[in-house]
Structure 1
């Protein structure tokens, strides 16, 4: 660090300011001296060092007051930039870099845009008239992309930060983790409240299900963790209640109502483990917090939002129907200046004195406030503000008349019986950015209305209890548990084949047996919640088999038959590469978190590499077919070349492709981009692969076959794009890419025709009806295709010129070996689960 400077907003040699004398959050930085301020995986800054970096950055911004849009990433560079904007007297707009920012940028036209500490200075002087009190603009209550913003002052920020720090008793020894986005008022309040007390903040964008999050948490002795209800869902999924966190002092929860039983449970868990649980209530319009539930009352009053924060006041404006219930109104120094809906509003001063929350509340005999309903048509789930009226509008655009109500932890949607429940559920979940199990669709003969003809939302809400949650047939649940080797308790109505860990191998078996159980195979069944499966009476001819299954079965027969020289129909391996990309996009990429996604990709690669290496090791012992480089799947890279050394190119290529994709998808911003634009991301990957295919980098396989992995990646990427194509028109576009780019690749018209036909069938024909006896044969061949490919090189030479027999035995041997492998894997999984459960029971008894 360079020499420290003296600036107007802090002084190197000045006395420590008291909270009463502060006008900005940044005024207190140097008062905390050499205490640790920010920590990430690479470095840490003391408050004095942070003040230096903020001062340097503030000087770069210049004296002319401007509107600065900051891409709010959870990293030290973003925090320094954010504090520098305050220090220099500018106005910040904090936005999520993953949201659609077009409405905001078009409306407000920021003077400067900051991303990763880099400044895009668009003009030297502001295009806007900025009110002197204005400090920060945030989107309302977790919503993103809307031009409607909350206007906050320095006084708002400081008042709420000091209030939160007071009731949480934050001290300099505390360290919090940025487990929430900084563009969200709750996440930002964690930063503010710790800065004013000289506490440390551990900066990370890792999810709580990512082991790297807990490595930072434990190594740096974090004392506090903040989360929205969904955070606590994730914590339960990783066994948080069994974690040993000796430095944890308290958990805080906001961003939506947590179910009362869970509030009680976390309060009890905190008592058991010597930490506290604070359930809190707030809104962006109040800078963050308005009320909190003291930990000692959480077990006995889990329905309450608690008491007002220090410095604020809550009142209830009684309704005519029930004087004890009314709209909750908050007053305090943290109430926003007002809303901004256009640039002209940035010149306004205070337009709001009291905050009407829109929540209906009552006051208990114990003096606690309790929310009993909503005065408006918004609900908050997963930290997002969901507009129920907008859901009704977008459904109406699809000619679906519906009434929507707040179901607490779900959106309740009432539709008439002529609509498909699964389709409505998926559409609502997708349009709101919610998981499907947060949307409950109820069928009614007529939409409920009041005597005055208005929607009866109370009746809609009651439907959730009147109509039992649909249950999948018991035999279907048992089937999922058996095929996927998961505990029956995990097979819930909300679970899907993908969420339970299904892959391209188990998909084949599952699809065949599921059709036997239901009498049909629902479309997109692998991503459909199990609770939506229904048997269908009356069976059609034969069975439905997915085209990818048929193609895998046919391709492996073509590969083996061509190698045996029973016939010469080359191209099956490249069709298999396309299918591999297709299945990768459907079964691996849908993982809900970055940590799970990287784990699933690694498992997919291991599922190919491990059995391959085991078989190659056996072949090395009993044959002279391979070299040691084959054992480590490096023959294409290291050689040696020879008549048998390239036999396993397909396995090597596929493993290296998955390793490359794993490295790519492990980058957080890449992961976010793919989730927000899955088809266009896949298309971009395909474009890069095609650039290599056309020798842009000079990688010609005729010059060096060891580079073949890179050159044939475009087949994998093509399957990936096909799986992510959202409509038939997009699929046709991918099909056109096949037709244009395959010719000339092999310099063999017959081979190219076969590959084009196979890939077009994969893209354009989702499934096909086949005679009943064909389905299990196709399933067995497709499931065992890897093992058939691995072993046929050693099997078919045993039969000399009896080529047809050699083909039959090679296929059968691979299928049997695959079945044995799956059985062994299931036994290992069972034994691991049994020992883990036994260890957990012993641990519970000892505690």
Structure 2
């Protein structure tokens, strides 16, 4: 096949070049016109060779995967879309033995051509093979035709009124039929895609939305929980034209709430209904009907129709759909790829009714399927998977979780983890309960309502007890799921699948403990984990372990990887800085400037943990974080005030930098805590102002830079400083903020230039300046540093306790000044004792403050409970 050969297949994919130089795809690093995208698609199609062959692709949201997907559709080569789970993908590959497997990674697509000619008898209409149940690895696939794909894309484009100026952000994976339909409909209409795999909880996503003038994005029900947590209602997104929702039933009140929000802000909410068996969409609710009819799925898509078929034994009717987008039929083995159309209409398995207004509404389910976080799970397949493991079980469930009862004595924890992995679900979405015998009805069939009623009843594999004092039990991190780790580290009673570390109130003080335990459980921490929902973070475990496996190479390289492992730069800097600060104050060795590096780290962490969520939620979180600094610090300062004569009342109220004597003295020992509290308090109240909040959400990087600029008059001596020769520190906090908000090379380069401009001008000591500059640049350019594996625990412990070490060491090391040993030994002992005392104080104080927080919430502390798919209690 030459590039000039006219491609056959799905028309919209075969004729991309007809839109010429109009932008088709933006990835953040490059833009492709339709002409260029069409050329790349033709090149990829040509690489598939002559004749039709079965192509397999693990489709992710990358340009190489998109090109491979379109190349298969355009050239008429049937495409098997593999699920994201490696185990499930391998199972389907083994079952269907594709002729070509496309692997994507490192910005390119690699073809594994297994044979020159196909072994399969491929039906002429066959274009696409999709899993019926998300990523379960079931060999049962949906067979879709080229005409069906084209027809459904055209229907979607019609009722969404897509126009060339539209640009959709790819919030759902290309491997999911809903995400795939977004791609198809936009490319058919000559609109464009903002190709990304960012989550809506990531500030980078909203930077992308604004920078690329995104007009729409797709959402499944749990996406709206995430939108609530990031304060979407208060965001300024002027380009947004509409949001679509599918992938499961959205609560009617949530439909009404977002429809009203859209009406206020100038965008529409399209509630939609569909199944993979119908290529994607079967119905949509016109936006102007959402407020009055939030329970409805709406009307059939253009070209489609519904009828209601009575169900024997039920006082209800099953919804049956007809239209050109209905599948050809199912495939359960490779021989089925030769079959033509065996299905003319689709029995959806959903019970429905039609209102007087002509709108359809789903009232129940006939089939044994549930949808969890957008994935359709076959409960019968769950039972078969457990049977393959030698387990007799009955499975039920809802759109919250799979619930199964298991006969006999089994390790339910291991079974639940295995099942969750194979289903591609968050671990917290699988509950297993031990029973002596499966509950059964009088006819001998399993009593599935009784099984479903066990949901949330404390699964043996899912929940543990608590300590006598009300605190949670802490089992080994390697055996815990993400939700439980969050519950225990953050001392919360309930964690939802849509919760993130930040939304649960996590901050820089709890970040270290969470990161270390998560790394033990997951094997590796993906970048930006603190913003990832529990359900997404849980699913990274096996994928990330495989992605970071050491490449084959020299033995020395592998040995280095075994001895050293990456650790987040901010954590390493906190540990190094605290050791240097204490040692310098004691005189064990001298290394100045590390406290100022910590101020940059504080700004860095503030931008990561404190800028998301609604204004009210964020304000509470700010005050809580400030209290976690003030309470333990003031407790120590109060003790020092009582037992020594080196401190005054302005130290006790953290006001020495404002009201105490100018210059450096014993009174200034707690300057870092004071200034940090002043900065955080000022920002908390400033960000509570709606206008400021909107500015920060829209331009987070510029706001970090603005803090540097605001401090420049003091920095360059245009205004007198109370501490001559030491310089102000707000600019350092702003520099750290800007480093965290930097998303592009030019932004990092600009912050680098700003650091070189400001750091040398702030301090007279060149060695201090070099330390601060190095710390800021490490924070900016290197997200992780390789640390000997044996030091990971110690590093994490010192970083976690850094504040407590800082405030206590002033009282600890003087006790060693009169020790009758050699001076270097005495100082070394003082450093070690300061570290140990600080760690002990951290352990006691954090537990005490957590107990107080639980008491103030007015409820008795309970063992952590993972509430999948439900709203976590307000914090």
Which TM-score applies when normalising by structure 1? 0.61
8 A Cα contact 1:795 1:810, kept in partner: no
Partner of 1:561: none
Contact 1:172 1:199 survives alignment (8 Å):
yes
String of CA shifts for 1:800-819, please: whole Å, max 9, x gaps. 42899989866653344457
Structure 2 residue corresponding to 1:8, chosen from 6, 9, 19: 6
Change (3 A) 1:785 1:416: farther
Distance (Å, rounded) in 1 between the aligned partners of 2:193 and 2:569: 37
Deviations 1:774-809 (A, max 9, x none): xxxxx9999689959999999867624289998986
* 1:147 equivalenced with 2:147 (yes/no): no
- Of the three residues 371, 381, 386, the one matched with 2:377 is 386
- The verdict on how the C-alpha distance between 1:446 and 1:176 changes in structure 2, with shifts beyond 3 A counting, is same
Alpha-carbon offset, residue 710 of structure 1: 10
- Contact 2:270 / 2:284 at 8 angstroms: preserved in 1? yes
Task: Confirm or deny: 8 A CA contact 1:581 1:719 kept in the other structure.
Answer: no
Query: Residue 81 of structure 1 aligns to a residue in which SS?
Result: helix
C-alpha change, 1:489 and 1:297, in structure 2 (3 Å) is farther
Structure-1 separation of matches of 2:341 and 2:75: 22
Counterpart secondary structure, 2:494: coil
In the alignment, what sits opposite 2:244? 252
2:83 touches 2:134 (CA, 8 Å); kept in 1? no
CA distance in 2 between partners of 1:219 and 1:781 (Å): 36
Matched, 1:406 2:397: yes
For the pair 1:270 / 2:262, whether they are aligned, the reply is yes
Contact 1:9 1:87 in 2 (8 A): yes
CA distance in 1, matches of 2:430, 2:308: 31
Deviation at 1:167?
A: 0.8
CA 1:797/1:395 → structure 2, altered by over 3 Å: closer, same or farther?
Answer: farther
| Residue among 33, 52, 56 paired with 2:20 | 33
Q: Equivalent of 2:216, from 216, 224, 228?
A: 224
Of residues 819, 826, 831, the one that matches 1:799 is: 819
Gap change, CA 1:605 and 1:794, over 3 Å in 2: farther
Please point out which of 285, 290, 293 is paired with 1:293: 285
Q: For residues 523 and 814 of structure 2, what CA distance do their matches in structure 1 show? A: 32
SS in 2 for 1:263: helix
What displacement does 1:168 show? 0.9
Name 1:568's counterpart in structure 2.
none
CA gap 1:446/1:182 in 2 versus in 1, 3 angstroms: same
The separation in 1 between residues aligned to 2:374 and 2:819, in whole angstroms, is 65
Q: Is the 8 A contact 1:25 1:157 kept in 2?
A: no
1:47-84 CA distances to partner (integer Å, 9 max, x unpaired)? 12222222333333333222222231211222222222
Match of 1:63 among 42, 50, 54: 50
Equivalent-residue separation in structure 2 for 1:454 and 1:313 (angstroms): 35
d(CA) in 1 for partners of 2:583, 2:792:
32
Cα distance in 2 between the residues matched to 1:497 and 1:58: 41
> Structure 1 residue 616 and structure 2 residue 637: aligned?
no
How far residue 234 of structure 1 moved from its aligned partner, in angstroms, is 2.6
Identify the residue that residue 84 of structure 1 maps to in structure 2: 71
Secondary structure of 1:151's counterpart equals strand
Inter-CA distance 494–103: structure 2 relative to 1 (3 Å threshold): closer
Tell me, yes or no, if the aligned pair for 1:69 and 1:110 is still in contact at 8 Å.
Answer: yes
**Pair 1:212 & 2:212 matched:** no
Q: Which moved more, 1:386-395 or 1:438-447?
A: 438-447
Note closer, same or farther for the CA distance 1:306–1:79 as it changes in structure 2 (3 Å cut).
Answer: same
Assess, with a 3 A threshold, how the Cα gap between structure 1 residues 407 and 135 changes in structure 2: closer, same or farther.
closer
C-alpha change, 1:435 and 1:283, in structure 2 (3 Å) is same
Q: Aligned residue for 1:492? A: 494
Give the distance between the partners of 1:632 and 1:241, measured in 2 at CA.
Answer: 37
Query: How far off is 1:193 after superposition?
Result: 0.2
- Residue 451 of structure 1 is matched in structure 2 by 442
- How far, CA to CA, are the matches of 2:32 and 2:206 in structure 1? 20
* Aligned match of 2:679: none
Q: 1:301-700 counterparts in 2 under 5 A?
A: 301-323=293-315, 325-393=316-384, 403-413=394-404, 429=420, 432-435=423-426, 437-439=428-430, 448-461=439-452, 476=470, 491-492=493-494, 584-586=519-521, 594=529, 596=531, 605-610=569-574, 612-613=576-577, 616-617=580-581, 619-620=583-584, 623=587, 625-627=589-591
Given that 2:572 and 2:799 are in contact with CA atoms closer than 8 Å, whether structure 1 keeps it comes out as no
Alpha carbons of structure 1 residues 472 and 146: separation in structure 2 relative to 1, 3 Å: closer
CA distance in 2, matches of 1:780, 1:42: 38
Aligned ranges for residues 767-846 of structure 1 at < 5 Å? 787=805, 799-801=819-821, 812-818=833-839
Count of residue correspondences = 615
| Structure 1 residues 203 and 785, CA gap change in structure 2 (3 angstroms) | closer
Structure 1: where are the runs of 5+ without partners? 11-21, 511-525, 527-579, 634-662, 667-708, 721-778, 830-847
For residues 522 and 414 of structure 2, the distance between their equivalents in structure 1, rounded to whole angstroms, comes to: 20
CA displacement, residues 327-357 of structure 1 (integer Å, 9 cap, x when unaligned): 2211110011122222222222212111121
Between 613-622 and 79-88, report the one with greater CA deviation: 613-622
Secondary structure of the residue aligned to 1:235 is helix
For the structure 1 residues 465 and 824, does the alpha-carbon distance in structure 2 shift closer, same or farther, using more than 3 Å as the test? closer
Tell me how far apart the structure 1 counterparts of residues 522 and 179 of structure 2 sit (CA, whole Å). 32
- Relative to structure 1, the CA distance from residue 467 to residue 149 in structure 2 (aligned partners, 3 Å threshold; closer, same or farther) is closer
Report the Cα offset of residue 425 of structure 1. 6.8
Q: Deviations over 1:536-577 (max 9, x none)?
A: xxxxxxxxxxxxxxxxxxxxxxxxxxxxxxxxxxxxxxxxxx
Matched residues in 1 for 2:490 and 2:510: separation?
A: 17
Give the SS at the match of 1:450: coil
Q: Which gives a bigger RCO, structure 1 or 2 (Cα 8 Å, sep 6+)?
A: 2
Contact 1:71/1:97, CA 8 A, preserved across alignment:
yes
Cα distance, 1:800–1:223 mapped onto 2, change above 3 Å: same
Identify if the C-alpha distance between structure 1 residues 401 and 127 changes in structure 2 by more than 3 Å, giving closer, same or farther.
closer
Q: Is the contact made by 2:55 and 2:100 (CA closer than 8 Å) also made in structure 1?
A: yes
3-state DSSP of counterpart to 1:305: coil
Measured after TM superposition, the shift of residue 219 of structure 1 is: 0.5
Which of 172, 187, 196 in structure 1 is aligned with 2:164?
172
Partner Cα distance (1:391, 1:485) in 2: 28
In the alignment, is the contact (CA less than 8 A) between 1:39 and 1:45 conserved in 2?
Answer: yes
**Higher mean displacement: 91-100 or 201-210:** 91-100
Task: Give the structure 2 partner of residue 130 of structure 1.
Answer: 122
Instruction: Report deviation, 1:212.
Output: 2.4
2:277, 2:327 within 8 Å by CA — same for their partners in 1? yes
CA RMSD of aligned residues (A): 5.3
Q: TM-score, normalised by structure 2?
A: 0.59
Task: Please tell me whether the aligned partners of residues 176 and 224 of structure 1 are also in contact (alpha carbons under 8 angstroms).
Answer: yes
Distance in structure 2 (CA, Å) of the matches to 1:59 and 1:488: 54
**1:417–1:445: 8 Å Cα contact kept in structure 2?**
yes
Structure 1 pair 375/827, CA: closer, same or farther in 2 (3 Å)? closer
Change (3 A) 1:582 1:33: closer
Verify the 8 A CA contact 1:327 1:360 in the aligned structure 2.
yes
Aligned to 2:193: 201
Which digits, 9 at most, give the CA deviation of each residue in 1:252-274, with x for residues without a partner? 11122222222222222222221
Alpha-carbon deviation of 1:370?
2.0
- The answer to whether the Cα contact below 8 Å between 2:567 and 2:785 also exists between their aligned partners in 1 is no
Q: Are 1:109 and 2:97 an aligned pair? A: yes
- Choose from 788, 800, 804 the match for 1:713: 788
Q: Separation in 2 of the partners of 1:329 and 1:485? A: 44
With 796-805 and 45-54 compared, the bigger mean Cα shift is at 796-805
Distance 1:459 1:475 in 2: 34
Which structure 2 segments of 5+ residues have no match? 475-484, 538-564, 598-739, 744-783, 851-875
Question: Does the CA-based 8 Å contact 1:254-1:281 persist in structure 2?
Answer: yes
